[in-house]
Structure 1
Amino acid sequence: MSMNDSWYRASIAGVPARASLQGELRADVCVVGAGFTGLSAALELAEAGLSVVVLEAEQVGWGCSGRNGGQINPGLACDHGRTVAELGAEDARKVWQLTLDGVELLRGRVAKHQIDCDLKAGILLVANKPRHVPELQQWQQQLQGLGYDQLEYHSRDSLQHLLRADYQAGVMDWGGGDLHPLKYAQGLARAAEAAGAQIFEQSAVQDYADAGAGVRVRTARGSVQAEHLLLAGNAYLGKLLPWYRKGFMPIGSYIGATRPLGELATQLIPSRAAVCDMNTLIDYYRLSADGRLLFGGRASARDAQPDALRRTMRQRMSQVFPALAEEDFEYLWGGQVAMTLSKAPVFGRLGKRTLYAQGYSGQGVALAGMAGKLMAQTVLGEAAGFDLLARARHWPVPPGVPLQTAIRALALLWYRLQDSR
């Protein structure tokens, strides 16, 4: 499955192709990766008056930023209690506030740059099993204890007014929401370019090295000499970051888009909110602006076979919505999610001039934008937020695809066993 299989790509007409890098350029900052992280950093830096070159191996939003579920969540993917245990209550609260600021950053940019990306409010976290209900209530109480007042608890019965599916309970988070991720990525790219950044597509970075008072970054047909380098390739970084620095493994995740469902769409999800369940291997879904159900999940350790994947995804969709048992997907696509063992993101430095941020563990729609802003602020001399998140400790991921695939397969088997309880 490729990017071209996605409904997101098919639903955007006339996306301009950008030139590839030819020859030598100089810039204050070179950014590798034109997804949410890299584009956010480029926009922030260009608005501050720095010269910025963005190098993208494929096209803007080609990776996870243009293929994901489009769900906007405050918080990290890991439990807030884990952040408290590692950083202390005061700094954990600062991290929580940074994630809230990330959601506001996203909304502010959509408004400021008039990005048409189907942005709407509301995301439901739903309990699959009775044992999930006290966990859900505890999560709500924890966030309310931080002063977060956007959460609404719904019992099994009252949940039916929002979502016609068989769950034990749910919490609506009005601070979250959803959007069309590829439209948003393209909008960020246009905003960055309007501020003066240069974005080159089909310009995969081959290597980089310290050179003089900066970093020299090479592609097949050109190079960039910059004072700072930001690595923002996330799950698609390849060998640009040493294996012992990555801290994540790429996990396959998949989304199917039905035909436009008309009135049936509103009958299934009267609130039209995005939904995520509480299993370890989650189902997540939402309605598109034209009434399609975008249904995601089915994590895998290796590339799934299309026919088997289609059967599995249809089966999962019909378990949630029996009325869709005969529905097929008009589009079905996949991509790599950068998952860390702790579910906390990975922020770090290589030497004095290179920064990286990745491993958002499925929480990247808002968090990646904030990560890009924090990298930009660090370049501009304000490193407090970046350094705070860089304090999180991560187990190194072992090198080599076969070993990583085996570890992923074992982890996913364990998750399935947990979800079957």
Structure 2
Amino acid sequence: MRQNDSWYQSTANPAPAHPTLHGTERADVCVVGGGFTGISAALELAEAGRRVIVLEAERIGWGCSGRNGGQINPGPACDHSVLVSQLGTEDARKVWELTVAGVELLRCRVARHRIECNLKSGILLVANKPRHVDELHAWQASLQALGYDRLTFHDRTSLTGLVAADYHAGVMDEGGGDLHPLNYVLGLGDAAARAGARVFEQSAVLDWQEDAAGVVVRTATGQVRAGHLLLAGNAYVGGLLPWHARRFMPIGSYIGATRPLGALAEQLIPSRAAVCDMKHLLDYYRLSHDNRLLFGGRASSYDARPERIEPAMRKRMATVFPQLAGERFDFLWGGKVAMTLNKAPQFGRLGQRVLFAQGYSGQGVALSGLAGQLMAQAVIGRSEGFDLFARMRHAPVPPGAPLHTAIRALALLWYRLRDIR
């Protein structure tokens, strides 16, 4: 699906086109992927004085970084208990604290580099079913035990002052928020270029090889020889990461943007907070700065065309907001989200010179920027944070596109059945 079908692309800030790689270039670090992860790493490395080259197959922000829901959450997508079971109580707390720092990193970069991306605070987690209310209380208590004090519980009555939809309760997280993701990554790209990083677009990487002198990264029209390679393609990394190391599967996710709703927008979400529900196949939505409702969800095991998923998306939107039963979408787009089985991100190394980070499982707006920073720090020689995440174990994903599609379809069916009960 083309990115220029998205509302984000239609409202993107002006950004320069970068050249295609031709010939041989040298760098201290070559970064593959021009999204949140890759550009964050490039910015961190360039500011530390390293020679950095970024290779992007399309344009900066073309992948999930420029298409996602724009919702900012502290923490990984997995429950904290997953971290504790694998890392122990103390190191699980360190991971949590790093993810909170990742949100602050995002806010600081927006302010420092004056990135115009409509950043605002507040994200609301809402309970679809009565049993979710107890889960909300437990979630809030677990984060408060970690010292996180940005959460406020709202019962069914008070919740209606925040969002005019039929939920049983909700928790407002003032530490989260939302932004225009494409404008954010374009702003990061501009900051990285000003810091000295060199970006090449329309430069898809065909393969890479490590030798005694470093890493050689090859495109159709050139190559980069570098001391280190960072693979930051996430769901779009393809065959650059060996199948036995790629512990995620790409899942399709879609977003529709209504017409500008005017005064109705404030009636739907008086708080103007981003909203996410608690279903396994969740709905998430927020208001844009021009009062459109951006409504996301509709996980898919295959790449669907907009006209195929529009009826289902409109039905889900009308279930949440019956007032919008007759509304259509001015824009409807999608992309791939890298999901791990335990919903924890996957960090790792291939040999001594190649690092990768991926699998944010739908919660990557802040987490991916942190991942890029931690990869950069590992290259520089401060690998504690990266190595902590890299200790997380992930179940292997069998090779083969047909098998992937079948497994994804079965997993999504299982989640739909769990949402029914």
- Write out per-residue CA displacement over residues 182-205 of structure 1, whole angstroms, 9 at most, x where no aligned residue: 000000000000000000000000
Aligned partner letter, 2:9: R
Displacement of 1:364: 0.3
- Stretches of structure 1 lacking an aligned partner (at least 5 in a row): none
Is the contact made by 2:272 and 2:287 (CA closer than 8 Å) also made in structure 1? yes
Is the contact made by 2:306 and 2:333 (CA closer than 8 Å) also made in structure 1? no
Is the contact made by 2:71 and 2:365 (CA closer than 8 Å) also made in structure 1? yes
Aligned partner letter, 1:219: T
Counterpart of 1:254? 254
Secondary structure at 1:244 match in 2: coil
Rounded Cα–Cα distance in structure 2 between residues aligned with 1:212 and 1:407: 39
Secondary structure at 1:392 match in 2: coil
Counterpart of 1:340? 340
Counterpart of 1:92? 92
- Write out per-residue CA displacement over residues 315-335 of structure 1, whole angstroms, 9 at most, x where no aligned residue: 000000000011100000000
Displacement of 1:213: 1.7
Is residue 2:130 matched to residue 1:130?
yes
Is residue 2:407 matched to residue 1:407?
yes
Comparing 206-215 with 231-240, greater Cα deviation is found at 206-215
Secondary structure at 2:245 match in 1: helix
Displacement of 1:141: 0.3
- Write out per-residue CA displacement over residues 39-93 of structure 1, whole angstroms, 9 at most, x where no aligned residue: 0000000000000000000000000000000000000100001111110000000
TM-score using structure 2 length: 0.99
- Stretches of structure 2 lacking an aligned partner (at least 5 in a row): none
Rounded Cα–Cα distance in structure 1 between residues aligned with 2:250 and 2:265: 32
Question: What are the residue-to-residue correspondences of 1:305-324 with 2, within 5 Å?
Answer: 305-324=305-324
- Write out per-residue CA displacement over residues 263-318 of structure 1, whole angstroms, 9 at most, x where no aligned residue: 10011000000000000000000001111100000000012243330000000000
Report how many aligned residue pairs link the two structures.
421
- Write out per-residue CA displacement over residues 75-131 of structure 1, whole angstroms, 9 at most, x where no aligned residue: 010000111111000000000000001000000000000000000000000000001
Rounded Cα–Cα distance in structure 1 between residues aligned with 2:106 and 2:317: 29
- Write out per-residue CA displacement over residues 6-41 of structure 1, whole angstroms, 9 at most, x where no aligned residue: 110011254322110011110000000000000000
Question: What are the residue-to-residue correspondences of 1:206-355 with 2, within 5 Å?
Answer: 206-355=206-355
Displacement of 1:390: 0.4
Counterpart of 1:77? 77
Counterpart of 2:195? 195
Aligned partner letter, 2:7: W
After TM superposition, which residue ranges in structure 1, 4 or more long, deviate above 3 angstroms?
none
Rounded Cα–Cα distance in structure 2 between residues aligned with 1:390 and 1:253: 26
Counterpart of 2:16? 16
Is the contact made by 2:56 and 2:201 (CA closer than 8 Å) also made in structure 1? yes
TM-score using structure 1 length: 0.99
Aligned partner letter, 1:177: G
Kindly report the root-mean-square deviation, in angstroms, between the aligned alpha carbons of the 2 structures: 0.7
Question: What are the residue-to-residue correspondences of 1:381-396 with 2, within 5 Å?
Answer: 381-396=381-396
Secondary structure at 1:246 match in 2: coil
Secondary structure at 2:130 match in 1: coil
- Write out per-residue CA displacement over residues 113-164 of structure 1, whole angstroms, 9 at most, x where no aligned residue: 0000000000000000001100011000000010100000000000001000
- Write out per-residue CA displacement over residues 199-257 of structure 1, whole angstroms, 9 at most, x where no aligned residue: 00000001110134210100010110000000000000010001110110000000000
